[in-house]
Amino acid sequence: MGILKEFKEFAMKGNVIDLAVGVVIGGAFQAIVTSLVNDVIMPVVAGVTGGVDYNTWVCKIGDIELKTGSLLTAVINFLIVAFVIFMAIKAINSFNRKLEDAAKLVRGDKEEKEDDKEPETKMCPYCLTEVKYRAVRCPHCTSELKDEVKA
């Protein structure tokens, strides 16, 4: 009975349910994109190229038939789906950045400017080894660093 309980806990986690919803919506979206490619884009391409139906393209090697037209259609489907997903994620990330900026303004957070940040490392002037910025002695050559930084 322990395995069923563990499986139930796993299946009811939010990210698993989100993934399932994403797969279902993705399948439905794929049907829309397939229709768009087969019923709108490919007929236009065929019209421009003199009535060539790319879905019927085949390449024969001996007795083997390679359906290159179907592959071309699948590639176009993939590119459209990938582009739409890219644009959706880009829009979501932009929206999330705006929400974060608004939350910072509400909280009164001040962003640290790049110029105000302390460098992480500096060079030892004696052995030219990179050392921590606040180091007062080089760990490589053990020289005292004259331009020591007070903490």
DSSP, residue by residue, 26-77: HHHHHHHHHHHIIIIIHHHHHHHTTS--GGG--EEETTEEE-HHHHHHHHHH
Q: Which CATH architecture group holds 2-113?
A: Orthogonal Bundle (1.10)
pLDDT at 49 over 50: yes
The residues, any chain, with a CB within 8 Å of residue 33's CB and separated by 6 or more, are 77, 80, 81, 84
DSSP, residue by residue, 116-131: GSPPSEEE-TTT--EE
Mean pLDDT, the chain, whole residue set:
83
Per-residue pLDDT band for 14 (boundaries 50, 70, 90) equals low
Per-residue pLDDT of 62-116, as tens digits, reads 999 999 988 988 888 888 888 888 888 899 999 999 998 888 888 876 655 555 6
The model's pTM: 0.50
Write down the pLDDT at residue 76.
Answer: 86
Sign of CA dihedral 139, 145, 147, 149: positive
Give the rounded percent of residues in the chain with a pLDDT score beyond 70.
90
pLDDT at 150 over 60: no
Write down the pLDDT at residue 151.
Answer: 43
